[in-house]
Structure 1
Amino acid sequence: MRLQQQPAQGPATEAATLSPVGLGVLVACQILPQIDFSIVNVALDPIGRSLGSAANGLVLVVAFYALAFATLLAAGGRLGDRYGRKRLLLAGIAGFGLASGLCGLAGSLPMMLFGRLLQGACGALLMPQILATIHASLHGPRHRRAVGIYTAIGGLSVAIGQILGGWLVSADLFGLGWRLGFFVNLPICAAALILALRNVPDSRGAELRSLDFRGMGLFAAFLLCLLLPVALGGAWPAMHWLLLGLVPAGLALWRVESALEARGERPLMPPSLFRVPGAPVGFLAQGAVTFCYSGFLFVTALCLQRHIGFSPRQSGDSFGSLGLMFFLGSMIGKRQDNGQAFVLGAIITVAGLAGCSGCLYAYGRDLHLWQMMLGTGLVGLGNAFMLTSAYRIILSNIGVQHAGEASAAVSTMQQGCYALGTAVAATLYGRMLGQGYPVAFMATMGALSLILLVVSALVWQRQRAVRPPLDPMAC
């Protein structure tokens, strides 16, 4: 590998010990940007009706958040190392609260999209500081317990967001409707700011790493050249011309990142990671799982509310089993073989997608949420197996000293695939609606299933190729 450690330019600050209250604040901050995906997903239909937006506009409401989050996530970590993690955490919390208020006040789609971009950017500032602060301020058993809490909350955040979002929108407190899903962040952010000021210690990184502005810009341009034509090409055919920018943007990104890496700097997406044998399959697996998962969440929530007649609360509750089974699968999947776990997860997920499709086709508007919960639960369990396996495949082929770069690259790619998966699945579903929503839903889930099965075959083939042969003398 050509990844190099940049020489340290300053000493790391010794962080004070993190108190239980401080850990609670960090966990609350962790939940904010993660469950926002889910809350908005449940509220999509009311948002669309209120703002007069078609499905392609709703795609951008989800995708713009993921785009900003993906582009700035690595920068958030480096800014925290340079200027202090507590300072960036506080700035991210304050910005996220203001952006949430802007989204809640939105009276038009452009205002909503601007607020979502700002939300994603602020979420990217605060998220990297959480685990970094835990690492810097806790040691031994307390550190292990804190990391366990961090992982568990991450697994449950999908279920928390879906259920909470459904309840908030359906409660319609003070006549706010879907806007309450954004306004609820304001008191949470205010309380988090006050508590973080007194209970979260500050720390900085030992390495003062430069920011890859050109890489971030080119990565965002590459995603937009694909995202906008897919999401808006049906309504604005001129958007298809942006597809011509994919190759130039991709090549420019590769060249810029290669040049930075050759100088010993830390690019946004280090090309060396993708040249390590076995790692590309892991990155492909991670991207495919996130792509299909986001597409499933968007299309299912939209179909349940717009065509089946579910309320936001019913829609949110139908995903409750998904989050719980995801958490369970994350615990079980850690003990499974990488290739076998991924293939098993793909089979379970495909069964869940087929179950959801069958329920929608068989019951239509007579569908009950408990009938969907079995299918969504299988999707959650299968995705947990696949994500855990894919992450281990990547790290098992990359040296421990480069695990940080690999983790940052995986997170960046995941968020980008979240945006693209939402756009592609929604576009396919919209194009097939002329055949009726059951056929459109089944076709979309079938396409996602095909992607997962093809990728799982590649993972299985790769794992068999690298597995050491049996020693006949050992038999």
Structure 2
Amino acid sequence: MTGQLLTQLDFSIVNVALERIGASLGTNANGLVLVVACYGLSFAALLGTGGRLGDRYGRKRLFLIGIVGFCIVSMICGLATNLVTMLVGRFLQGVFGAILMPQILATIHATLHGPEHSRAVGIYTAIAGLSVVIGQVVGGWLVSADLFGLGWRLGFFINLPVCAIILVLGVISIPDTRSNVASRTDAWGVLLFALFLLCLLLPVSLGSDWPATRWFIIALPPIGIAFWWIETRQEATGGKPLLPPSLLRRPMVLIGFLAEAAVTFSYAGYIFITAFCLQSALGFSPQQSGDSFIGLGLMFFIGSLASKRLRERLSDHGTFVLGAGLTISGILLTATLIRFFGLSLNFGHIIAVSGLVGLGNAFMLTSAYRIALSHVEKHHAGEASVAVSTVQQGCFAIGTASGGVVYAGLLPSFDHALAFAGAAGWLVCLPIIAAGVVLWKKPRPARQQS
């Protein structure tokens, strides 16, 4: 569980330290977009592979390898003096995060049963919600405290003792499990999916500032076609592709995937833009910026707990639409507060409205996940879960990049508040569209024959 918290905390800590990182490394908003997105890119591309490596070579071994690797590359990030070193470190953090993360839930499923299993899964879900609060608050405090003069670097160095503790306790206490039937790694699928995300991420992040942009855009269609062909062939020959095409041919499963993508895309953009705007435009300290997201994390946790009962009353589709409405309201209210209060804004104002985003996101995320997986046969449940997580992490990287570009692109012409409002308005389009699609496709009950 601590390993799970480690990978999720890292995003939150980096998020509240963005302005200080940019000033130290001499980079602008586009560079900071890549600092965040590189982590999501490698994590998304290798998440499925990490799970299969654990099935084949042992989950304990892969977990410990992931912890050691995460520790080493955290030190590289903390010592970085330029953007290139930071990006390499962040990319490798995503790699080792993808190696260790799948082993946690797989080990729980393999070793615990009955009430113990239910409690462990509940703790796992709770940590996912609370990690946002803990990461933002702890990260903000670490950066603002500037202990030993390390500033933002302490946000990475703090991983070293945590990794050491996890490593020692992991060697002693984690049982070693593996799958009786280990599947082959979809190496070509992973490679093509990573290239596809990269060709999408770099042009979005760097745009016309980068001469090679057009070549990456031109490469997108052939890489996408090749990826689909490879995955189709893998599935036809009895393999386990990264994203099984047969799943995406089912309307309700596809809708669930689109809903999941919309949730993550808008959420990632909101988090990045808000944190960057509060610090660079409104003069918030990293600690104040981190405290501003307390409401978001707590309401996400509460929403995750309440979503099951809400689903029984409204259905997954109704819960998703309600969540979309809350998320949109929270984003637009955040923009309105920034525009209205300007430099007099404090973190207390943001806590309440970010809580709406957290609550709405919890409703959307849990219902989208159920929409996708409730229409999948049991023997495909594992593949579908990995596929949903892969899409989620990929959209996280793209959502961050897209939000950052819109925000940075509007700065020359408008003040920061208007730029944020424009970016927020653009980001909410996908949840609205996804909600409309879900309602349109919602199956109607069959008429009873007399």
TM-score scaled by length of structure 2: 0.97
Deviation at 1:368, TM superposition (A): 1.0
Distance 2:7 2:337 in 1: 32
Of the candidates 343, 363, 370, which is equivalent to residue 385 of structure 1? 363
> Alignment partner for residue 326 of structure 1, among 278, 288, 300?
300
2:82 is the counterpart of 1:113: no
| Correspondences of 1:414-433 after superposition (within 5 Å) | 414-433=392-411
Please tell me whether the aligned partners of residues 96 and 123 of structure 1 are also in contact (alpha carbons under 8 angstroms): yes
Residue 456, structure 1, aligned to residue 430, structure 2: no
Q: SS where residue 74 of structure 2 aligns? A: helix
Q: Which residue of 1 aligns with 2:272?
A: 298
Q: Which residue of 2 aligns with 1:76?
A: 50
AA aligned to 1:375 is: V
Match of 2:21 in 1: 47
Aligned counterparts of 1:288 and 1:150: Cα–Cα separation in 2: 23
Could you list the structure 1 runs, at least 4 aligned residues long, displaced by more than 2 angstroms after superposition. Answer: 469-473
Cα shift readout 1:20-49 (whole Å, capped 9, x = no counterpart): xxxxxxx11110111111111111000000
Q: 2:59 aligns with which of 85, 109, 121?
A: 85
- CA shift for structure 1 position 238: 3.0
After superposition, what is the alpha-carbon deviation per residue over 1:330-361, rounded to whole angstroms, capped at 9, x for unaligned?
11112211110000000001110111011000
Distance 1:208 1:471 in 2: 46
Alpha-carbon distance in 1 for matches of 2:389, 2:381? 12
How much identity, in percent, do the aligned residues show?
Answer: 57
Q: Letter of the 1:392 partner, please give it.
A: R
Corresponding residue number in structure 2 for 1:186: 160
Query: How far apart, CA to CA, are the structure 2 residues paired with 1:203 and 1:278?
Result: 34
TM-superposed CA distance for 1:277, in Å, is: 2.7
2:432 alignment partner AA: L
Residue 129 of structure 2 is matched in structure 1 by 155
Q: What CA deviation, in whole Å up to 9, does each residue of 1:353-374 have, x standing for no partner?
A: 1110110000001001111111
Name the SS for the 1:308 alignment partner. coil
CA distance in 1, matches of 2:84, 2:120: 40
User: Partner of 1:131 in structure 2?
Assistant: 105
Residues 277 and 397 in structure 1, CA contact (< 8 A), matched pair in contact too: no
Distance (whole Å) between structure 1 residues aligned to residue 153 and residue 254 of structure 2: 41
Cα distance in 1 for partners of 2:31, 2:130 equals 28
Q: How do 1:2-13 residues align onto structure 2 when only pairs under 5 Å count?
A: none
Find the partner of 2:246 among 272, 275, 279. 272
Q: CA deviation at 1:399?
A: 1.1
Counterpart of 1:251 in structure 2 is 225
* Secondary structure of residue in 2 paired with 1:278: helix
Q: CA deviation at 1:129?
A: 0.6
Following superposition, the deviation at residue 241 of structure 1 comes to 2.5
What corresponds to 2:321 in structure 1? 343
Residue 155 of structure 1 deviates from its aligned partner by: 1.3
Establish whether residue 394 from structure 1 lines up as the match of residue 372 from structure 2.
yes
SS in 2 for 1:397: coil
User: 2:282 aligns to what?
Assistant: 308
Show the counterpart of 1:369.
347
Query: Which of 83, 97, 115 is equivalent to 1:141?
Result: 115
The unaligned stretches of length 5 or more in structure 1 are: 1-26
The 10-residue stretch of structure 1 (448-457 or 29-38) with the greater mean CA deviation from structure 2: 448-457
- Distance in structure 2 (CA, Å) of the matches to 1:70 and 1:56: 21
Match of 1:468 in 2: 445
Aligned-pair CA distance for 1:451: 1.8
After superposition, the C-alpha distances for 1:215-243 in whole angstroms (9 at most, x for unaligned) are 01100111111110111124224323210
Q: Which residue of 2 is the match for residue 196 of structure 1?
A: 170
- TM-score, with structure 1 as normaliser: 0.92
- Which of 26, 34, 51 lines up with 2:8 in the alignment? 34
Matched, 1:233 2:207: yes
User: 2:3, 2:212 → 1: CA distance?
Assistant: 40
Aligned-pair CA distance for 1:450? 2.0
State the distance in 2 between where 1:108 and 1:399 align.
48
Whichever residue aligns with residue 230 of structure 1, its letter is V
Question: Counterpart of 1:459 in structure 2: which amino acid?
Answer: V
C-alpha distance in structure 2 between counterparts of 1:322 and 1:104, whole Å:
27
Q: How many residues align?
A: 445
SS of equivalent to 2:251: coil
**Which of 430-439 and 119-128 deviates more?**
430-439
Q: In the alignment, is residue 403 of structure 1 matched against residue 381 of structure 2?
A: yes
Q: Name the residue aligned to 1:443.
A: 422
Q: Which runs of 5+ in 2 are unaligned?
A: none
Question: Which amino acid is the alignment partner of residue 323 of structure 2?
Answer: G
Match of 1:24 in 2: none
After TM superposition, give the deviation of residue 454 of structure 1 in Å: 1.5
> Counterpart of 2:376 in structure 1: which amino acid?
I
What is the CA-CA distance between 1:54 and the residue it aligns to? Answer: 0.8
**Mapping for residues 8-19 of structure 1, pairs under 5 Å:** none
* Contact 1:155–1:327 (CA under 8 A) maintained in structure 2: yes
In 2, the alpha carbon distance for the partners of 1:469 and 1:116 equals: 51
**Per-residue deviation, residues 57-98 of structure 1 (Å, max 9, x unmatched):** 101101111011011111111111111111001100000000
What is the Cα deviation at residue 379 of structure 1? 0.1
Partner of 2:21: helix, strand, or coil?
A: helix
* Aligned positions of 1:164-175 closer than 5 A: 164-175=138-149
Counterpart for residue 6 of structure 1:
none
Supply the distance in 1 between the matched residues of 2:441 and 2:136 (Cα, whole angstroms): 36
Take 2:104 and 2:346, find their aligned partners in 1: how far apart are those partners? 39
Query: Following TM superposition, by how much is the alpha carbon of 1:206 offset from its aligned partner in structure 2, in angstroms?
Result: 1.4
